Structure 1
Amino acid sequence: MSTPRIAIVGGGPAGLMCARMLQGHGIEPVVYDADLTVDSRDPGGTLDLHADAGQIALEDAGLMDAFRALARVDGQAKSRRDQNGTVLAEFIPAEGDEAAPEIDRGQLRAMLYEHLRPGTVRWDHKLIHITPRGGGVHRLEFANGAGADVDLVIGADGAWSRVRPLLTDATPQYLGVCFLDARFDDMDTRHPEIAAIVGDGHMFSVDGDGRAVIVQRNSNGVVRGYVAFRAALDWPVTAGVDLTDREAVRAYLLREFSEWSALMRPLITDNDSDYIPRSFWALPAPLTWDHIPGVTLIGDAAHLMAPFGGHGTNLAMLDGAELAHALEHENTLDDAVARYEAAMFPRSGELAVGANTALARFFAPTSPDAPHLPPDHAQEHKNYQARATEYRRRRTEDAQ
């Protein structure tokens, strides 16, 4: 095909991976992002990149060495405790197990950005209008007054995508669980008791009433904590809690988590940052749409799901890589998008249904005699590796 004008809306892992792959195929896209710079906002905590998805994309992009320089293999460790601190289950990765190493979200985004040609990403470009012009061409207009006509617009703009309405009326639905995101600094020096509970990776704890604490070790001595509970979106208003008043939030949480042991309560109250309110949302799953020339979606814009299983960023990066492969190998933009979507719909749909179901089960009330237990992580890692091998085998056959 002749060189198309391709715009990627969104400079997260999905959009940056897609741009990196396209440049490797000799296609020069433009990435538009609303942020002022790559690190102008808190990117969130850590994530694991699976051998059968995120790592495949990194291999395709020639970035595995860059990833390994930042990744934490020991961060794959996980434990599950009850509200009294009793260990219910524990997973320590075997030597040589690199099925799902951890990396900070900010580090991943910066790494991908640094491996693009200068000028690829146009920061401070918030999309406000997108208008079909016919023949698959779309006009993009940005809040800063800039505009562009493109042959293909790739929506990589996340949960509240402005590109998605061109393809579907589906919108994210609240899953009934809110959480407060907090941070612990200089963990091993300032919070050794919490460091011992967290270990090298993640610690999950949930009580019988659907209240949970999830803490994750990040790089540079930081731990991110998530205090989660079932609630309406307006819970701070109905509870009379000022979220900007750290002590008021702590007092509320101590009342809500009053039955948690003295060992576990510091995970809820001893944070060094303010509490940042967040909530879980998901698109209807499985989600598909009819093809429209000149537009498609990748990442959360296409299949926002609950974070259980850690599939979101992994799928986002694989989406970006597969769409770039399709654009390289197919004769037309329409054929490339159709090829990409045909593979993406069933893969993301199955995982989204499973993730959303897992979240509902995790936060459902349960008997103390039947606590929520985690999946078999050792088998999970073997499954990642097996699916990665199968994925590569199918790709080799398709190329022949």
Structure 2
Amino acid sequence: MTTPRIAIAGAGIGGLTCARVLQLHGFDNVTVFERESSPDARQQGGTIDLHADSGQEAVRAAGLYEEWRALARDEGQEQRKVDHVTAALIGHQPAEGDFHPEIDRGQLRRLLLDSLAPATVTWGLGIASATPGDPKSTVTFLDESTAEFDLVIGADGAWSRVRQALSDATPEYTGVLFVETRHDDNEELLDLTGHGTMVADHEGVLLWCQRNSGDHIRAYACMRAREDWKPSKAELLEVYAGWHPSLTAFLEGELIYRPLYALPVPHTWEHTPGVTLLGDAAHLMPPLGVGANLAMQDAADLALAIAEHGVREGVQAYESVMVPRAIEYAEHTKVGLQEMVPARPIRV
């Protein structure tokens, strides 16, 4: 009997996890379509912590737990808070246990890619749209070619093209701007950051720094601002006037502007045979430590449900669990962002 033909839009960690678990359960007609030209077309973001009750369970379902453990950094669980004026340590949570070790997103993605059957990922061919159908759904690719599948899975992130087949919702600006900088082999910044995450805040302005593997740091200046505001170095330093020089040193280097977006809460859709969503495509929310874990949990849950119940009933079973779970987390992260970056002051 021919296995169902399944298309996955997006070769992020969610889409790759889903493909891996499906293949482990005998679904050999799975293709991941990625608009980027290669696995190395761009950097894959910073470090992520995989939680024992979600992301790690997905890694287990993918049969990659031991390989993940070899890369995971338990010491990355350390959290530090410092005073914005003196840079003195005022709060410290040491790295204990293994509930949420850190791993670089690029390392995790490479682990998943290497676990897939050859040619599972089609690079340089993104999905432009999906048209639900019963028994077949139609995919239109960015090159305007088309193909039919038994199931189309939208794992294509915040600005998902597949989502449009199920929902009219679009991401909305949260009012919060992150400005990212990157630093390598800087002993002073490494010592201040520690082995995990360091935070400083004052009157609605934050500095959030994370240590990645290889003595690399990604720092994020966080504030309320207009969606289109792209501060110069001098303007950014003005926002942090009065902060200790060792903290404003994190603002040196290239500035990368990252306005934060989220889908409306709650985001739901009527179950439609032949198309479903996972990860940010289904429930984009503020980056407060759950997004990657939910994407992987979604992916594993969907694949396991399909393996147990088949495509039609499996997708229904998955959505009945995923959607309410996502709503709960989206509500929490919405409140969390408001508390982390209060509504005032708003920068111009």
Report TM bin, short chain.
Answer: over 0.9
Q: Partners in 1 of 2:32 and 2:242 — Cα distance?
A: 49
- Equivalent position SS for 2:164: helix
Once the two structures are superposed, the pairs formed by residues 370-385 of structure 1 within 5 Å of their partners are none
Structure 2 counterpart of 1:231, which letter? Answer: A
Partner of 2:248: 265
Structure 1 counterpart of 2:111, which letter? Answer: M
Partner of 2:174: 175
1:42 Cα deviation (Å)?
1.4
Q: Partners in 1 of 2:194 and 2:135 — Cα distance?
A: 52
What's the CA shift string for 1:52-107, capped at 9, x where partnerless? 0000010111101111111111011011223122323211122xx11001011111
What's the CA shift string for 1:95-132, capped at 9, x where partnerless? xx110010111111111001000100001012223234
What's the CA shift string for 1:8-33, capped at 9, x where partnerless? 01110110000000000000211001
Partner of 1:40: 41
In the alignment, is residue 220 of structure 1 matched against residue 214 of structure 2? yes
In the alignment, is residue 230 of structure 1 matched against residue 224 of structure 2? yes
Q: Partners in 2 of 1:3 and 1:58 — Cα distance?
A: 24
Paired residue total: 343
Structure 1 counterpart of 2:139, which letter? Answer: L
Partner of 2:261: 281
RMSD of aligned Cα (Å): 1.6
CA contact (8 A) 1:136 1:151 kept: yes
Cα distance 1:171–1:365, how it changes in 2: closer, same or farther (>3 A)? closer
In the alignment, is residue 291 of structure 1 matched against residue 271 of structure 2? yes
Question: Which structure 1 residue ranges, 5 or more long, are not aligned?
Answer: 242-248, 367-400
88, 91, 94: which is aligned to 2:93? Answer: 91
- Equivalent position SS for 1:235: coil
- 4+ residue runs of structure 1 moved beyond 4 angstroms? none
What's the CA shift string for 1:123-179, capped at 9, x where partnerless? 1012223234x3142221222354321110000000000011111111111100111
Structure 1 counterpart of 2:146, which letter? Answer: G
Once the two structures are superposed, the pairs formed by residues 300-315 of structure 1 within 5 Å of their partners are 300-308=280-288, 310-315=289-294
- Equivalent position SS for 2:338: helix
Q: Partners in 1 of 2:239 and 2:26 — Cα distance?
A: 56
Once the two structures are superposed, the pairs formed by residues 316-327 of structure 1 within 5 Å of their partners are 316-327=295-306
Structure 1 counterpart of 2:153, which letter? Answer: I
In the alignment, is residue 142 of structure 1 matched against residue 141 of structure 2? yes
Once the two structures are superposed, the pairs formed by residues 22-37 of structure 1 within 5 Å of their partners are 22-28=22-28, 29-37=30-38
Q: Partners in 2 of 1:180 and 1:42 — Cα distance?
A: 16
CA contact (8 A) 1:213 1:268 kept: no
CA contact (8 A) 1:74 1:101 kept: yes
Q: Partners in 2 of 1:356 and 1:104 — Cα distance?
A: 25
233, 236, 244: which is aligned to 1:250? Answer: 233
Partner of 1:161: 160
Q: Partners in 1 of 2:168 and 2:218 — Cα distance?
A: 35
- Equivalent position SS for 2:215: coil
- Equivalent position SS for 2:246: coil
Partner of 2:116: 116
In the alignment, is residue 192 of structure 1 matched against residue 187 of structure 2? yes
Q: Partners in 2 of 1:69 and 1:146 — Cα distance?
A: 41
What's the CA shift string for 1:343-384, capped at 9, x where partnerless? 111211111111111011111168xxxxxxxxxxxxxxxxxx
- Equivalent position SS for 2:177: strand
Structure 1 counterpart of 2:103, which letter? Answer: I
Partner of 2:5: 5
In the alignment, is residue 351 of structure 1 matched against residue 329 of structure 2? yes
